[in-house]
Amino acid sequence: MNEFVLIFRNDFLPEAKFSPDEMQAIMQHWQEWIGGIAAKGLLANGGNRLSSNGNTVKPNNIITDGPFVEIKEIISGYIVIKAADIDDAAEIAKGCPILMVGGNVEVRDIIPMNI
Amino acid sequence: MQQKELIPQLYRNEFRKMAAVLCRLFGIEHITIAEDIVSDTFLLAAETWGLKGIPENPVAWLYTVAKNKAKDFLRRNDIYNEKVTLAIQHAANAKNEFEIDLSNTNIVDSQLQMMFTICNPCIPPESQVGLALRILCGFSIDEIADAFLTKKETINKRLYRAKEKLKQLKVKIEMPHEQEIGSRIDNVLTTLYLLFNEGYFSAGRNSKIRKDLCLEAMRLAYMLVENKTTNKPEVCALLSLMCFHASRFEARIKPDGELVLYNEQDRSLWNKELILNGKYFLNKGATGSTLSKYHLEAAIAFWHTIEIDSIEKWENILSLYNKLLIIEYSPIAALNRTYALARVYGNDTAIVEAKKLSQDHNHLYHSLLGELFALTDNKKAIEHFLLAAKLTRSDADKKVILKKIEKLNQKVS
Amino acid sequence: MKEFALLFRNESNVGSEITPQQMELMSSKWQHWVGGIAAQGKLVSPGSRLGFNGRVVQPGDNVVQRPYAEINQILSGFHVIKTSTLDEATEIANDCPILSIGGSVEVREIIPMNN
């Protein structure tokens, strides 16, 4: 088993786009999806959800307010999973609820840290 | 050998063996009884041998008496009889007439099992260390009190509460399953590490006791290395770390208890044999894919055994401290990293980094800053050393710090 | 203390023209930087370094066979740190060695998980 990071991206839009009921339903989907991965023993790290509060630091002391938005999508969170290979990991990513709201999931292999 | 010397020596060597076997036999509910039976055996030895002289084989004498006392207790005590016999039948699958097995193999097995029982995070760390000293190392309550610089009653209460807790949780005295050992051994190593550090770094005045604590921790770690199922890379790494540290024992404490700083130690007093043992176990631990904090600390300790100060030495130490801190933060590792930083990049860089550490209340932080300023800014150096002297609770540390201040003051005048 | 994710990006073809010596220097700089954060007790988790192997799973069962490229940059790793404010986290990010090779660091506040 290898570890892969799933990175979630969606449109950078004000978060209050959804009604509380819709939010509730989305959260439910997420919990079920991640719960399913964890139930198979494939969740290596629950990861984090990122708020839209952020800065971007670039060379030569250039600091811009807000998340990294060279394109219109921003990273909204990530988790680390275990899978046999990257395609297997992509299979798992296909179940991610972010796809239902037009977002996408990037699947990346991890370089082992030689600390 | 005189009886006066013989009994304490036997107590130190044999108490723990008999106690572990009886504890395992009786189960967690009765470890106090097991302890009492062994203590009574030694009391009887003192009385009898005083009158009749030392028997031909004192150890065999002790074992026979302890066995008989255990059997007597089981037969006589109606209340416990049922439970204990049941427990024994369960544990040893014994017939009605059981034998108490004090063979070497059973002693080692029992001690290992008791190690896993006592090193249990459900009881506080200082209780784990206390119980380990009592049951695994055969320390008397007085000696434990001495080691912790506290009163006998405090230790008695602490051990009582710990035993009650283990009893209440019905902790089983047994080896963990092989698959479980990997996760359970962490607790055991943490306790052994604490036990060693209690001896090595504690401010206790009695250097004999301090050394004994270190040796006991090493003995227990060695038992784990010797056993096939517990011989894990991190165990070897911990033992290696202990060997490297212990190699400086004679050099770092003067007979009167005063600490000698690393830079000022007489390097001919470093114990070469222990350094070799440390290297041996560091190599043995360098297998598998786990890189524990013990590996990193052992590697740091290894570099400290290299007598010649070179850039390479301090670059390696700095890099190891970086890795150690990434695995697990500790204030002392952060300070040590800063010291290594000074040795590689100079004091000014280190001072900038030190100020980011927010350890204003730690005397070691101010000692470090005092050290870093000593070459360039006498006034600031003295200020920090004075703060350190004010903040430390150890007399030995205070002595060292005041000496430093004195030296700096001489430089001024 | 709040938690912040530091997301590292650099050009997707970086690495091809880097010599082993430069590589080693970079990794020692990197370790030094992370070690300094850890020494302040501000490292929450050392996160992961990401490999160049990637997939992007998009809505409609659409899988792209490479990492997600934002203009010409891709995500190369992340760490989680804790500081009192976003500014303090940004200041730490401003020392990141990735900036010396033209990369960037995005600093994002983490949404505390309530499970």
Packing angle, helices B347-355 and B363-373, rounded to 10? 150
* Overall domain count for chain A: 1
Q: Which residue is closest to B329 within chain C, CA to CA? A: C41
Residues of chain A with Cβ-Cβ distance to C95 below 8 Å are: none
Domain that holds residue A83: 2-12+28-109
Q: Is residue B120 over pLDDT 70?
A: yes
Work out the average pLDDT over B140-165.
Answer: 91
C82 in contact with chain A, both atoms CB, cutoff 8 A: no
Nearest by CB to residue C53, choosing from A67, A68, A109, is A109
Per the domain annotation, does A17 fall within a domain?
no
| Selection from B272, B275, B267 nearest residue B251 by Cα | B267
pLDDT digits (tens, 9 = 90+) for B275-297: 999 999 999 999 887 789 999 99
pLDDT at site A115: 43
Phi-psi label, residue A77: left if phi above 0, alpha if psi -120 to 50, beta otherwise: left
3-state secondary structure of C47: strand
Q: Name the β-bridge partners of A77.
A: A8, A49
Residue with tokens 């938690």: C3
Residues of chain C with Cβ-Cβ distance to A80 below 8 Å are: 48
Beta strands in chain C (DSSP E): 2-11, 43-58, 62-64, 73-83, 104-111
Lowest mean pLDDT segment, chosen from A57-71, B44-58, B140-154? A57-71
> ipTM of this complex > 0.85?
no
Q: Which amino acid is at A24?
A: Q
What letter does residue B132 receive in the DSSP assignment? I
How many CB atoms neighbour CB A51 within 10 A?
18
What letter does residue C7 receive in the DSSP assignment? E
Cβ proximity of C111 and A49 under 8 Å: yes
**CATH for A42:** 3.30.70.1060
Give the CATH class of C2-109.
Answer: alpha beta
Per the domain annotation, does A115 fall within a domain?
no
| Selection from C89, C7, C106 nearest residue C43 by Cα | C89
pLDDT digits (tens, 9 = 90+) for B70-85: 888 777 665 455 656 6
CA distance A66 to chain B (A): 26
Lowest mean pLDDT segment, chosen from B27-31, B282-286, B305-309, C68-72? C68-72
Nearest by CB to residue C49, choosing from A93, A104, A113, is A113
Beta strands in B256-405 (DSSP E): none
Using pLDDT thresholds of 50, 70 and 90, give the confidence band for residue B199: confident
For chain B, what are the domain ranges? 1-100, 360-413
Calculate the alpha carbon distances from B215 to B29, B107, B199 in Å.
30, 19, 9
| Selection from B170, B177, B200, B192 nearest residue B119 by Cα | B192
pLDDT at site C28: 83
Cβ separation C73–A70 shorter than 8 A: yes
Give the span between the Cα atoms of B113 and C46, in whole angstroms. Answer: 36
Alpha helices, H only, B120-232:
125-131, 141-147, 152-168, 178-201, 207-226
Q: Which residue is closest to B345 within chain C, CA to CA? A: C32
Q: Which amino acid is at B101?
A: D
Nearest by CB to residue C57, choosing from A3, A75, A94, is A94
